[in-house]
Structures are given as C-alpha cells and as structure tokens.
C-alpha cells in the first residue's frame, strides 16, 4: 500500500505483535503506528479498513478467552462502525476454517499457516 502511494495507519495493541514487525516502515512519513485495542472505538479518517487484529494462534487465543472474544466481536463491531461513519470499504479477516474442513483442528502454532 505504501509502495502504491497510500497513507497507512496501523493500529495494534501489541498483544502478539511488536513494533519490530514494522520497524522498517517507521521512517516512512506516510506510515503511522498507534497503540490501540480494537475492542475500543477508533476515530480516524480513512477510506479503507483491513481488520486483521486477532490473537491468531491457539496458544494466544486460549490464553485469554474473554479478550479473544471481545477482539472478535467488539473489534469487528467497532471497525464496522468506523467503516459506516467514514463510508470506508472494509476487509474483515477470518479463520481459514471457514473455507472448509481443516487438516488439523484446532490448528497448532506451527500449523497456523504463514
Ligand atoms: N496468517 C494466516 O495464514 C491466516 C490464515 C487465515 C486467517 N488468518 C487471519 O488473519 C488475521 C491476521 O492473522 P495474522 O497471521 O496476521 O496474525 P498475527 O498474530 O501475525 O497478527 C495479528 C495482530 O493483531 C494484533 N492484535 C491482537 N488483538 C488485538 C486487539 N484487540 N487490538 C488491536 N490489535 C490486536 C496482534 O498484536 C498482532 O499484531 C487473523 O484474524 C487470522 O485469524 C490468517
């Protein structure tokens, strides 16, 4: 997106991610990172939203089931609310299981495809 000339705001509560994941992008004036938990409303002006926030592997989502559920439900509701307010296009990530029978269930950390 940055290469295509877009401004990017990355919101992450660093539950599993770290700033190091985007350290090379921090010097780009078109990239902004904010510590934000999607279970709380977010007020930014954007025209596209990609909601990828989730403790994706079982070891992480089983660690705190309440926060995990909040991230899924409140996070999606908050991002949909933001999309509605600013009339943005929204992409919502989901589990690969929605595409059919997984080979391993629940997926292991290593089984969580990258
Ligand atoms: N990677 C894959 O192959 C794959 C396959 C199918 C589905 N998905 C889905 O795509 C999404 C992203 O997967 P990923 O592999 O990039 O995961 P990831 O763990 O690498 O990244 C998720 C990010 O979300 C952040 N996060 C967690 N809870 C948050 C919260 N409440 N508020 C803000 N940020 C929060 C984490 O800190 C982390 O940086 C997930 O929903 C996952 O289920 C991924």
Q: What pLDDT does residue 59 have? A: 86
The pLDDT tens digits for 33-42 are: 999 999 999 9
Distance CA 50, CA 73 (A): 15
The three state secondary structure string of 32-95 is: EEEECCCCCCCCCCCCEEEECCCCCCHHHHCCCHHHHHHHHHHHHHHHHHHHHHHCCEEEECCC
Distance CA 83, CA 43 (A): 10
Residue range 2-21: average pLDDT? 97
pLDDT > 50? residue 114: no
Q: Which atom of ligand 1 is nearest to the CA of 114?
A: 3
Query: Is the sign of the CA dihedral 40, 46, 49, 53 positive or negative?
Result: negative
Higher pLDDT, 34 or 58: 34
- Residue ranges of domains in the chain, CATH in brackets: 8-99 (3.40.50.720)
Q: Which atom of ligand 1 is nearest to the CA of 96?
A: 6
Mutate which of 49, 54, 63, 94 for ligand 1 pocket (most atoms within 8 A of beta carbon) = 54
């Amino acid at each position: 997106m940055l290469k295509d000339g877009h401004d990017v705001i990355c919101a992450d509560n660093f539950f599993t991610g770290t700033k190091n994941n985007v350290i090379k992008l921090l010097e780009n004036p078109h990239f902004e990172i904010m510590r934000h938990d999607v279970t709380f409303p977010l007020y930014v002006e954007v025209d596209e939203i990609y909601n990828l926030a989730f403790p994706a592997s079982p070891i992480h989502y089983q660690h705190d089931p309440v926060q995990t559920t909040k991230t899924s439900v409140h996070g999606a509701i908050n991002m949909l609310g933001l999309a509605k307010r600013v009339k943005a296009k929204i992409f919502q990530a989901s589990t690969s299981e929605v595409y059919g029978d997984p080979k391993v269930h629940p997926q292991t950390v290593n089984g969580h495809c990258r």
